[in-house]
Amino acid sequence: MLTPKSKRPFPRWPHGMAVLLVVATFPLIWVGGLVTTYDAGMAVEDWPTTRGYNLLLYPWQTWIAGPWDVFIEHGHRLLGFLVGVLTITLNVAVWLRDYRRWMRWVALAALGLVLTQGILGGMRVIQNSQQLALIHGCVGPLFFALTVAIAAFTSRWWNARDLRLQHPAAGKLHRLAVLTFVLAYVQLILGAQLRHLPVDASLGMFRGVVWAHLFFAAVLTVYVLSLAGRIVAQYRRLTHLLVPALGISLLLLVQLALGAATWVVKYSWPTFAVAWKWTQYYTIQADGMLQSSITTAHVANGSLILATAILLALRSTRLVQRGVVQTPLGDGYLGEAVA
């Protein structure tokens, strides 16, 4: 019996910090998307300083009242700084309050990733490199997914290893969820490729990436829908799975619509749409509200899909039969008893 340990109070701090981090990271992703949408990555030409000022000392009046591209780029840096600070705080919380040694490594990994990401962003500015911008854009959502994972690891539901949840067919579900996550990430990289296309990219490259993005969109749709279908069919009583499953389906539908809309507001209607007269009345407005918000929403929503996918992938592991029966207890904090 593990009574002594399980009687320790469940540590709220790490989970609270992790959720806060998730909440802070999503706007960071959104603003990062805006920076790319407005091609504002080079709006401030120095780093880590902003126009010669220390990041935090850049006059806020100049920032707020200044040009839009500087506003979002500096805002992105400030938010990035905030997320960095939150990640450090999370590390402290995990170090002090979480009893699982491996959690410390995970939290440390998050810190490493956020630092790397900051330096990537900085190098992108210093070298004015589209390729670094692309990598920066791909690592961001990965960090976001990691924060969601940490929030999941530190949650009460995760730690309350409810053996009644275990299900013989859960392995399949788990694999499906992991695959969905991988696919969502590949799809995200493809999207980032489109957004960071080199200015002298060949027509073949654009064609290749567009078609791959469409192909993976179709594959991902099939995976997401079958994952959600499986959960609704077999595990609908588990709110912790049902809610993200319904969520990811909804996000996916929104994402498909946003993707199609992004094409239209950037490149106008595809050739076959010429037949519909009403399409011909539309004039694109470069950097207009419609164009930038739809494009950025498509990017941010992609990150949300990725985050939901990792949540499902992690939660579904809890259903997988481990064969190791540690405790007959139901709800209860197991602490380090996890193998």
* Separation of CA 187 from chain center: 12
Positive or negative CA dihedral for 266, 269, 272, 274? Answer: negative
Span near other proteins by CB under 8 A; candidates 6-14, 16-24, 251-259, 287-295 = 287-295
Q: Of 89 and 234, which has the nearer Cβ to other proteins?
A: 234
Please report whether residue 95 would count as binding other proteins according to CB under 8 A: no
Please report whether residue 61 would count as binding other proteins according to CB under 8 A: no
Residue count at the site for other proteins (CB under 8 A)? Answer: 76
Which amino acid appears at position 233 of this protein?
A: A
Using the structure block, give the residue that is written with the tokens 């027509």.
203
Please report whether residue 104 would count as binding other proteins according to CB under 8 A: no
Q: Of 11 and 41, which has the nearer Cβ to other proteins?
A: 41
Please report whether residue 337 would count as binding other proteins according to CB under 8 A: no
Please report whether residue 330 would count as binding other proteins according to CB under 8 A: no
Residues 144-203 that bind other proteins (CB under 8 A): 171-172, 174-175, 178-179, 181-183, 185-186, 189-190, 192-193, 197-203
Site string for other proteins, 120-149 (x = CB under 8 A): --------x--x--xx--xx--x-------
Q: Of 201 and 225, which has the nearer Cβ to other proteins?
A: 201
Which of 23, 60, 115, 287 contacts other proteins by CB under 8 A? 287
Using the structure block, give the residue that is written with the tokens 């595990």.
235
Using the structure block, give the residue that is written with the tokens 């990401």.
117
Please report whether residue 103 would count as binding other proteins according to CB under 8 A: no
Q: Directed axis angle between helix 289-317 and helix 170-195, to 10°?
A: 150
Q: Of 174 and 240, which has the nearer Cβ to other proteins?
A: 174
First to last CA, the chain: 15
Please report whether residue 66 would count as binding other proteins according to CB under 8 A: yes
Spatial distance between the Cα atoms of 224 and 141, rounded to a whole number of angstroms = 18
Query: CA of 196: how far to CAs of 38, 135, 138, 207, in Å?
Result: 12, 10, 11, 14
Residues contacting residue 188 through CB under 8 Å, at least 6 positions apart? 138, 141, 302, 303, 306
